[in-house]
Amino acid sequence: MTAISLSSAEIEHYGKNGYALYRKQLFSPEKMAELSGIFEEQWELVGRKLNSELDTPHFRDERLLKFLLSDEVLDLVEPLIGPNIGLWSSHFICKEPLVGKQTPWHEDSAYWKGRLDRFDNIVTVWLAIDRSTKENGCMRVVPGTHHNGFSEYKEVDGSENIFGTEIRKVDESKAVYFELEPGECSLHDSRIVHGAAPNKSPYRRCGYTMRYFSTEAKVIPEKNANHKVWLARGKDLAGSPFVNA
């Protein structure tokens, strides 16, 4: 395996636009096969359906910490948010063929209001388990919107959308689509406007999101009941309730 890193140009692009694409294999073939196998087990347990139980799967299966706390991932994250890194969450996201729902336009940070005291250095690594294309509803972002602050939301039809709310005004003409091969990943700022079209293709679209924050941010204990965070690298700067500190 070659060293995992982002170039200075990619780091600059991330700061300006709020995202980066890593079009190399993040994990070795053996490690990727192991992760895919864990997903298949988890998916089977929930009846092979997209289900909220696929959120924070590492709470139930600590084998995933091998990947979440790995140097491969943290070496990508560190140049973007600094050397002091907390593991915020992870999530298997699977859109079934033909029936996978739309992911409305949203900012991740909008769903975490009050749970941390700042949102300026939080990054999501979106690892493709399946091939992710426009055809099967790959993620899309609006570059630069991580600079804009929280957006205004409206309610949407829950039968057609993964979430019940969506950002009111989005210029979709500016969207960039993250088409990825299995084992490749994208990285995006928690504040960027993003979403995904429904999967109308015959191909499943599954990814594993791994979310990290700079420990300059404080996790508010009373707003995070039963939520666990790990100190992934470096020091706890703000005094958050890490399970391994």
Distance CA(55)–CA(16), nearest Å, equals 29
Asked if 195 and 104 count as a contact pair (C-beta separation under 8 A), the reply is yes
Beta bridge partners of 194: 106, 141
pLDDT at 98: 87
Distance CA(243)–CA(240), nearest Å, equals 9
* N- to C-terminal Cα separation, the chain: 30
pLDDT at 51: 54
Query: How many of the other CB atoms lie within 10 Å of CB of 236?
Result: 16
Crossing angle (nearest 10°) for helices 8-17 and 71-81: 60
pLDDT at 163: 77
pLDDT at 53: 55
pLDDT at 209: 96
Amino acid at 104: P
Which residues of the chain carry a pLDDT beneath 70? 1-2, 49-53
pLDDT at 159: 74
User: What residues does each domain of the chain span?
Assistant: 8-233
Amino acid at 108: D
Distance CA(48)–CA(203), nearest Å, equals 14
Distance CA(189)–CA(242), nearest Å, equals 22
pLDDT at 2: 58
Residues 6+ positions from 139 with CB-CB distance below 8 Å: 103, 126, 132, 177, 178, 186, 188, 194, 195, 196, 207
Q: Which fold has domain 8-233?
A: Jelly Rolls (2.60.120)
pLDDT at 43: 85
Query: CA 204 → CA 54, 98, 136, 161, 234, distances in Å?
Result: 16, 8, 7, 17, 37
Q: What is the largest CA-CA distance in the chain?
A: 47
Distance CA(194)–CA(170), nearest Å, equals 9
pLDDT at 3: 75
Query: How many of the other CB atoms lie within 10 Å of CB of 61?
Result: 12
